[in-house]
Amino acid sequence: MKFQSLGKGLESLIPKSSLANKRQDAAKQNGEQPQHKESVFLLEIDRIKENPLQPRRNFDEEELKSLAGSIREHGILQPIIVTKLEREGPSGIKVSYELIAGERRLRAAKMSGLDFVPAIIRKKTDNQNKLELALVENVQRSDLNPMERARSFDRLHNEFGLSHYEIADKVGKSREFVTNTIRLLQLPVEIQKAVVEGKISEGHGRTVLSVEDINQRMTLYKDILEKNLTVRAAESIGRQMKGVSKKVGKKEGRQPRQYFD
């Protein structure tokens, strides 16, 4: 089945007079260059499957509603990215699509009642490239919470063999940022959840990790919550704990990564 390329069909989603300007404005807002060298197609929304490697797990319902309202008024300003899936069936080859990047836009488009969405179709890609593309987009848009970032970086490192330097280069961050982010997976699950829920910051999490003893980590974490400690105040207490730990000879090895659903 042949699909329409960028043209009149897309104007039903985005007013013709403002299509170019809105694309350019959206690109600037997201820190991107307003250019699309690849062809853009209108695809049936029901034929697009979610990306199983999507690093983002939490989608704020109110933000999605707000984006859906914007889409109803202005259309989708940035095409989603998909790859084509072909499966042979009794009646011939069945074509569907798998999302690579743009799940937030896709969800909001469904919420707004659209039947078609503008999309760039990439050649069949492997799992590593799917994860990289989804990760890069989410990191650039600051859509991932710290633990989602940590899990994604860890997968690229352990499953696909990328070094911390290579990951940093792909997402436009420093090697230290990647290393420190992955270290968050050494936090107890309870503290990881607190980071995700915003009860403590990523900086607090790194401070807790600076304490080697597991029991002291939990003590410091509870102090941060109960006393509403700043990162600097938590660091000061952490240094005191490390001093005590060295005196009594309590040293713990590197803690294994922990995951929660």
Give the Cα-Cα-Cα angle 70, 118, 3 (nearest 5 degrees): 150
Which among 112, 119, 101, 104 has a CA at the least distance from the CA of 47?
119
Check if the beta carbon of residue 223 is closer than 8 Å to that of residue 234.
yes
Q: Which one from 44, 61, 86, 103 is the annotated catalytic residue?
A: 103
Check if the beta carbon of residue 233 is closer than 8 Å to that of residue 226.
no
Residue 103 is a catalytic residue: yes
- State the Cα–Cα distance between residues 90 and 27, nearest whole angstrom: 43
The residues facing 96 across adjacent strands are: 85
Q: Kind and range of the H or E element at 206?
A: helix 202-209
Task: Supply the residues annotated as catalytic.
Answer: 103
